[in-house]
Amino acid sequence: MTSVRVELGSRSYDILIGSGLLRQSSSFSAVARPRATALIVSNTTVAPLYAQVLEQSLQGQFARVLHCVLPDGEQYKDWQTLNRVFDALLEQHCDRRSVLFALGGGVVGDMAGFAAACYMRGVAFVQVPTTLLAQVDSSVGGKTGINHPAGKNMIGAFHQPRLVVADIDTLRTLPARELSAGLAEVIKHGAVADEEFFVWLEHNMEALRALEPEAVAHAVRRCCEIKAAVVARDETESGARALLNFGHTFGHAVEAAMGYGAWLHGEAVGAGMVVAAELSVERGLLGREVLRRLRDLVQRAGLPTRVPELPAARYLELMRVDKKAEAGELRYVLMDALGSAQLLPAGDAAAASALLMHGATPGSA
């Protein structure tokens, strides 16, 4: 086991990374509350695999261990499904000492975290990510929330977990498509924050797709180190943290345009990174060789490199809801070198041009 510390003063916490952590009660001793209730929030896919394992690890550390099982899929990341968590908390008379455990991928983590942020104006929660995407990205940093038909993750709160337990053994039950989706976020960290890590990924992509333990552990740890350092400097995404949204402005638009769940988040981000890199080239910030290397790595990860063919005007409409927009002006995370990026305004015409090169149809743009 290794650990990465997220330094946030009194709200600091550890990310535990290793094999077999879910089965070890000691993994959760830092959040034990023998007189309180633990609520495991999971979904219909993950709960049958790991909910009982987690319950056994929590027994004796909490007075009660309860379960709340949600439907699986991005399309359920909404108010109606969120209310199931509140219903469970209220029906079981959970108080402010209760702790929520988010057992699953990014959707479960975001929703359980948002429920924890809201219930009784804030209770503790623990991230127990079981997908690669959640282990390397969404479980770290306290972003919680739900989707709105007009925009992804537009309703939520910053609410830091008390602990993150990333058991890489859980990735063995992950479908290949979900594994590839997680690799998009892995690539992102190298592309905008660590050239050496990007080169390592170029040499180890096949090992990651084969779930070789040493390669997976290294990738999860390095991504968590990068994100922990960024979150410590910019918790609420007012500056440097926005750079970790590379590819997400385009990717979120793809998800909203196609209907949540049609494209996995990582698939949309993979194609979105290629569009963002093309826009970086058009702005004169990036050489075409770096664009080629990024596109090749995204493709080797089993991810799409082109966005769906929809009118560019539709994409631009959806991107104007992006959280990085200021005074109605779109801003994009653009690469200026391998391992480096900037948050810059980019005119609609340039964005439309990049989209057109990667799948969108002209429309009225």
- For this structure, is 212 an active site residue? no
Active site residue: 245, 255, 267, 314, which one? 245
pLDDT value of residue 239: 83
In the predicted structure, residue 362 carries a pLDDT above the cut 60 = no
- For this structure, is 143 an active site residue? yes
Active site residue: 248, 283, 295, 358, which one? 248
| pLDDT band at residue 357 under the 50/70/90 scheme | low
- For this structure, is 77 an active site residue? no
* 3-state SS track over the chain: CEEEEECCHHHCEEEEEECCHHHCHHHHHHHCEEEEEEEEEEECCCHHHHHHHHHHHHECCEEEEEEEEECCCHHHCCHHHHHHHHHHHHHCCCCCCCEEEEEECHHHHHHHHHHHHHHHHCCEEEEEECCHHHHHHHCCCCEEEEEECCEEEEEEEECCCCEEEEEHHHHHHCCHHHHHHHHHHHHHHHHHHCHHHHHHHHHHHHHHHCCCHHHHHHHHHHHHHHHHHHHHHCCCCCCHHHHHHCCHHHHHHHHHHHCCCCCCHHHHHHHHHHHHHHHHHHCCCCCHHHHHHHHHHHHHCCCCCCCCCCEHHHHHHHHCCCCCCECCECEEEEEEECCEEEEEECCHHHHHHHHHHCCCECCCC
pLDDT value of residue 20: 97
In the predicted structure, residue 348 carries a pLDDT above the cut 80 = no
Active site residue: 74, 178, 237, 278, which one? 237
pLDDT value of residue 6: 98
| pLDDT band at residue 334 under the 50/70/90 scheme | very high
Per-residue pLDDT tens digits for 155-194: 999 999 999 999 999 999 999 999 999 999 999 999 999 9
pTM of the model: 0.92
- For this structure, is 248 an active site residue? yes
In the predicted structure, residue 313 carries a pLDDT above the cut 90 = no
Q: 159-168, 275-284, 291-300: which has the minimum mean pLDDT?
A: 275-284
Domains assigned to the chain: 2-173 (3.40.50.1970), 176-357 (1.20.1090.10)
Question: In terms of pLDDT, which residue wins out, 331 or 230?
Answer: 230
Quote the mean pLDDT of the chain.
93
Q: 51-65, 89-103, 140-154: which has the minimum mean pLDDT?
A: 140-154
| pLDDT band at residue 149 under the 50/70/90 scheme | confident
pLDDT value of residue 365: 38
Active site residue: 143, 189, 283, 314, which one? 143
Active site residue: 77, 265, 314, 358, which one? 265
In the predicted structure, residue 305 carries a pLDDT above the cut 50 = yes
Active site residue: 74, 178, 185, 235, which one? 185
- For this structure, is 237 an active site residue? yes
- For this structure, is 265 an active site residue? yes
Cα distances from 203 to residues 52, 164, 197, 345, in angstroms, run 38, 28, 10, 34
pLDDT value of residue 364: 40
Mean pLDDT of 204-223: 98
Active site residue: 241, 283, 331, 358, which one? 241
pLDDT value of residue 331: 85
Per-residue pLDDT tens digits for 219-253: 999 999 999 999 999 998 878 899 999 999 999 99
| pLDDT band at residue 100 under the 50/70/90 scheme | very high
Per-residue pLDDT tens digits for 318-328: 888 776 666 56
- For this structure, is 189 an active site residue? no
- For this structure, is 227 an active site residue? yes
Mean pLDDT of 110-130: 98
Per-residue pLDDT tens digits for 37-90: 999 999 999 999 999 999 999 999 999 999 999 999 999 999 999 999 999 999
pLDDT value of residue 326: 65
Active site residue: 162, 252, 283, 314, which one? 252
